[in-house]
Amino acid sequence: MKKYCFGIDVGGTTIKCGLFNTEGNVLDKWEIPTRLEANGSFILPDIAKTITEKLDERGLTKNEIEGIGLDIPGPVDEDGVCMLAVNLHWGKVNIVREMEKLTGIRTRAANDANAAALGECWKGGGAGHKNLIMVTLGTGIGGGIVVEGKVIAGAHGSGGEIGHVHVTDELSEPCNCGNVGCLEQVASATGIVRLAKMQLEKDQDTPSTLRGITGLDAKMVWDAVRNGDEVADAIAEKFGLYLGRALAGFACVTDPEIYVIGGGVSKAGPVILDYVQKYYRQYAFPGCKDAAFALATLGNDAGIYGAAKLVL
């Protein structure tokens, strides 16, 4: 094992970079812009350049680098090939081969949600565990499945796409994926707003601080939950039912030790775990009922940690 590695988290606007020692301590963090022009063809060369510059700046040689881990917003298969990454304007890109050619350093690549899961498992809310399911509740829902310390990419790069399990027949509008009734439609930040509108419509006679707000968002709903708002509580119950029951279903598959909840929605704090766990415990197979729940702790750094872990 060499002394250092890089963890690179490629987003649609910014590329987050981390230089780590191989014990997992971050020594340096910086960002470069994501250049989307020319079908995103500058992205990997830009990363290679910033890595070379960092090596020079620190007086390090390639021989001291264990590898480069890199994650992107799109499916990546076991061999480090991306088939399509809309947010990077990429079609098929063999990330591992191209980066190794550009840098001469061993490279591994993964989906961003999968890397975040690995990061949280290594140094975040799931630290100390080897089997984990990570749920990222943002505008959409991302997920990552870690088994025996390794993230499951899946045969089609769709491992951990848990936002797209079917959870309800009550919706008619389609999910971004084209299906109808996905978890993402009722438990992401936008999904919680959808649930809120449905509940306010249904409980017309119940007073609620959420009524009549323009620009209602998920944070307002959770604030209202904490303030004892009756309609907000009903919304949180629905959210807990959909997410908790879905996780109970996943427990039958990989049976993790711990579920880690991250993403913007998780900033509402432990209250969301209460609602999710209530329904998880109701629906989980008896052997899995005592699994742990935790909030993510690495925030926006989960990606660089997980990317770094890919090469260790």
Q: How far apart (Å, rounded) are the C-alpha atoms in residues 303 and 146?
A: 14
| Of 136, 104, 106, residue with least CA distance to 120 | 136
Q: Are 20 and 7 in contact (CB under 8 A)?
A: yes
Q: How far apart (Å, rounded) are the C-alpha atoms in residues 303 and 306?
A: 5
User: C-beta of 46: minimal distance to a copy of itself in Å?
Assistant: 28
User: Of the candidates 7, 119, 138, 159, which one interacts with a copy of itself according to CB under 8 A?
Assistant: 159
Q: Residues 6 or more apart from 25 whose CB is under 8 A from it?
A: none
174 binds a copy of itself (CB under 8 A): no
Q: Which is nearer to a copy of itself, 6 or 275 (CB)?
A: 275
Q: Are 9 and 113 in contact (CB under 8 A)?
A: no
Residue type (1 letter), 27:
L
Q: Which is nearer to a copy of itself, 157 or 240 (CB)?
A: 157
Binding mask 117-156 for a copy of itself (x = CB under 8 A): --------------x-----------x-x-xx---xxxxx
User: Of the candidates 11, 209, 219, 283, which one interacts with a copy of itself according to CB under 8 A?
Assistant: 283
67 binds a copy of itself (CB under 8 A): no
Q: How far apart (Å, rounded) are the C-alpha atoms in residues 126 and 131?
A: 9
- The first and second tokens of residue 162, run together, are 């848990």
User: Of the candidates 67, 160, 191, 240, which one interacts with a copy of itself according to CB under 8 A?
Assistant: 160
Residue 4's beta-bridge partner residues? 21, 65
User: C-beta of 248: minimal distance to a copy of itself in Å?
Assistant: 7
Q: Residues 6 or more apart from 192 whose CB is under 8 A from it?
A: 186, 218, 221, 235, 239, 265
Inter-axis angle of helices 112-123 and 302-309, to 10 degrees?
A: 90
Q: Which is nearer to a copy of itself, 18 or 240 (CB)?
A: 240
User: C-beta of 238: minimal distance to a copy of itself in Å?
Assistant: 14
Q: How far apart (Å, rounded) are the C-alpha atoms in residues 35 and 41?
A: 8
User: C-beta of 21: minimal distance to a copy of itself in Å?
Assistant: 28
Q: Which is nearer to a copy of itself, 162 or 232 (CB)?
A: 162
Contacts to a copy of itself from residues 2-21, by CB under 8 A: none
User: Of the candidates 68, 82, 291, 298, which one interacts with a copy of itself according to CB under 8 A?
Assistant: 291
H or E element at residue 123: helix 112-123
User: C-beta of 249: minimal distance to a copy of itself in Å?
Assistant: 4
Q: Which is nearer to a copy of itself, 4 or 280 (CB)?
A: 280
Q: Which is nearer to a copy of itself, 1 or 155 (CB)?
A: 155
Binding mask 219-258 for a copy of itself (x = CB under 8 A): --------------------------xx-xxxxxxxxxx-
300 binds a copy of itself (CB under 8 A): no
Q: How far apart (Å, rounded) are the C-alpha atoms in residues 81 and 99?
A: 11
Sign for the CA dihedral angle at 159, 114, 250, 235 comes to negative
The label of the residue with tokens 């992205």 reads 43
Binding-site size, a copy of itself (CB under 8 A) = 45
| Of 73, 144, 82, residue with least CA distance to 107 | 82
* Binding residues for a copy of itself (CB under 8 A): 75, 78, 131, 143, 145, 147-148, 152-166, 177-179, 245-246, 248-257, 282-283, 285-288, 290-291
